[in-house]
């Protein structure tokens, strides 16, 4: 029996830049079940990281979440905020966008934790790894099940994870209990750092890249979060270490039952790690479902294109080779109200000139696709002429001729 842990609906995040409004994430619906590994895959610039950061409220100006709901199941939290924020509570679910920022922040480390591609960003260079892990442990220890008292611990929660507090200047010396220190060493051992007691006394720069990646995972799980969000956790690592780190995440997941949202551009990693997957394109999830739905029953020609570009799915290193054409810019002024993939799609039809909703697709009842092919067969008679998007000027990038002038 699995239950939803996160229910995201209509989530939109925009960046308001000098060049104009960037629609980084648009009307995103997502359900993540307790204890599963959910993967998000897509080309660079498709909105994967912005999605992840939106979930944990880490969007900085000029960006802003402009709409949607993020419902998170947590009985204690629901109990604690029900009275003051009745509209943000539905049974055991709490809409994270409907509660005060202070309470939301206090969930970091204990409810949500995030690991990034670049582990340096998660550590303060002037504190030992052990101290920083112990601090992350203490945040969890201090965490009260009653969010009414979270105001007091918000500040320490901000310190807890360097990953969230890059710019925060850490106070010089904080009290760390011997228990937390012991737990820090245990965590280092758990993530496979040899001689953990000694390594705990070392500074981040004394760790190799792969070791620091492990230490960052230790830091992220120190607070025993419900959801671990891993944004390209292995991209920067060489293949052997990549496999080790994925194994580690797998083991931790099996041991703790933690829910993982795994972001990657590597379909091999998805195939190896995930229960369900969402394929992202131009700020939208264009197809989602179980691995079987997406790998064997895929509907969206973009998914087909991604899969076609991977020689062997069972092995790691199935990096995407680009599909012909370019990812759209996501600038609002340049986005047309059509299927955003139509200009690259080998099956674009007249129908694709209006923007598709998420349709239910064949397969499990989790399977959806933002593509008319979920509803109808491809018919060549309805195909758009091959030069349609060039001819109509409906392109997202300058043509070669314009660029030459």
Q: Which residues bind Ni ion (CB under 5 A)?
A: 48-49
Segment near ligand ATP (CB under 6 A); pick from 39-47, 94-102, 313-321, 364-372: 39-47
Q: Per CB under 6 A, does 278 bind ligand ATP?
A: no
Provide the 3-class DSSP secondary structure of residue 121: helix
Q: Per CB under 6 A, does 17 bind ligand ATP?
A: yes
Nearer to ligand ATP, 15 or 38 (CB): 15
Quick check: bond before 220 cis, omega within 30? no
CB 396 within 8 A of CB 334: yes
Segment near ligand ATP (CB under 6 A); pick from 41-49, 142-150, 370-378, 393-401: 41-49
For the CB of residue 25, give the shortest distance to ligand ATP in the complex, in Å.
7
Q: Per CB under 6 A, does 300 bind ligand ATP?
A: no
And the tokens for 383?
């195909």
Contacts to ligand ATP from residues 58-77, by CB under 6 A: 62-63
Q: Per CB under 6 A, does 265 bind ligand ATP?
A: yes
For the CB of residue 52, give the shortest distance to Ni ion in the complex, in Å.
8
Q: Per CB under 6 A, does 14 bind ligand ATP?
A: no
Buried-state track 56-87, b at ≥16 Cβ within 10 A, e below 16: bbbbeeebebeebbbbbbbeebbbbbeeebee
Q: Per CB under 6 A, does 282 bind ligand ATP?
A: no
Quick one: which of 32, 37, 50, 65 contacts ligand ATP (CB under 6 A)? Answer: 50
Q: Per CB under 6 A, does 49 bind ligand ATP?
A: yes
For the CB of residue 60, give the shortest distance to ligand ATP in the complex, in Å.
7
* 130-133: Cβ within 8 A, 24+ apart: 130/181, 130/184, 130/185, 130/188, 130/199, 130/200, 130/201, 130/202, 131/176, 131/184, 132/162, 132/219, 133/183, 133/184, 133/187, 133/188, 133/200, 133/215, 133/218, 133/219, 133/222
Distance between alpha carbon 269 and the CA centroid of its chain, in Å?
14
Q: Per CB under 6 A, does 46 bind ligand ATP?
A: yes
Nearer to Ni ion, 49 or 219 (CB): 49
Q: Per CB under 6 A, does 130 bind ligand ATP?
A: no
Report what 223 binds from ligand ATP, Ni ion, none; CB cut-off 5-8 Å by kind.
none
CB neighbourhood size of 264 (10 A): 25
């Amino acid at each position: 029996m699995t239950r939803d842990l996160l229910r995201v609906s209509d989530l939109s995040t925009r960046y308001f830049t000098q060049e104009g409004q960037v629609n980084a994430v648009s009307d995103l619906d997502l359900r993540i079940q307790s204890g599963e590994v959910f993967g998000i895959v897509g080309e660079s610039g498709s909105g994967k990281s912005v999605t992840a950061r939106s979930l944990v409220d880490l969007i900085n100006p000029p960006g802003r979440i402009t709409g949607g709901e993020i419902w998170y199941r947590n009985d204690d939290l629901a109990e604690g905020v029900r009275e003051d924020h009745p509209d943000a509570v539905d049974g055991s679910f709490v809409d994270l966008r409907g509660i005060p920022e202070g309470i939301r922040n206090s969930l970091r480390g204990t409810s949500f934790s995030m690991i990034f591609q670049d582990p340096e960003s998660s550590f303060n260079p002037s504190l030992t790894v052990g101290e920083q892990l112990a601090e992350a442990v203490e945040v969890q220890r201090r965490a009260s099940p009653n969010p009414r008292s979270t105001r007091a611990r918000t500040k320490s929660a901000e310190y807890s994870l360097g990953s969230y507090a890059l710019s925060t200047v850490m106070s010089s010396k904080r009290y760390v209990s011997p228990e937390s220190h012991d737990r820090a060493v245990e965590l280092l051992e758990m993530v496979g750092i040899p001689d953990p007691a000694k390594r705990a006394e070392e500074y981040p720069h004394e760790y190799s890249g792969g070791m620091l990646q492990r230490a960052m995972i230790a830091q992220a799980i120190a607070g025993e979060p419900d959801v671990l969000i891993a944004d390209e956790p292995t991209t920067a690592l060489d293949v052997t270490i990549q496999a080790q780190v994925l194994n580690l995440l797998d083991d931790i997941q099996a041991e703790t039952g933690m829910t993982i949202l795994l972001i990657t551009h590597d379909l091999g990693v998805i195939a190896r790690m995930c229960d369900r997957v969402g394929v992202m394109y131009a700020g939208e999830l264009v197809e989602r479902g179980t691995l079987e739905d997406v790998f064997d029953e895929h509907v969206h020609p973009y998914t087909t294109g991604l899969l076609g570009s991977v020689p062997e799915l069972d092995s790691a290193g199935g990096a995407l080779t680009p599909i012909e054409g370019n990812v759209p810019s996501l600038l609002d002024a340049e986005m047309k109200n059509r299927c955003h993939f139509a200009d690259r799609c080998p099956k674009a039809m007249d129908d694709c000139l209006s923007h598709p909703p998420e349709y239910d697709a064949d397969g499990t009842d989790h399977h959806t696709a933002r593509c008319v092919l979920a509803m109808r067969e491809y018919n060549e008679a309805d195909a758009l002429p091959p030069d349609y998007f060039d001819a109509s000027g409906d392109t997202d990038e300058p043509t070669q001729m314009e660029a030459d002038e």
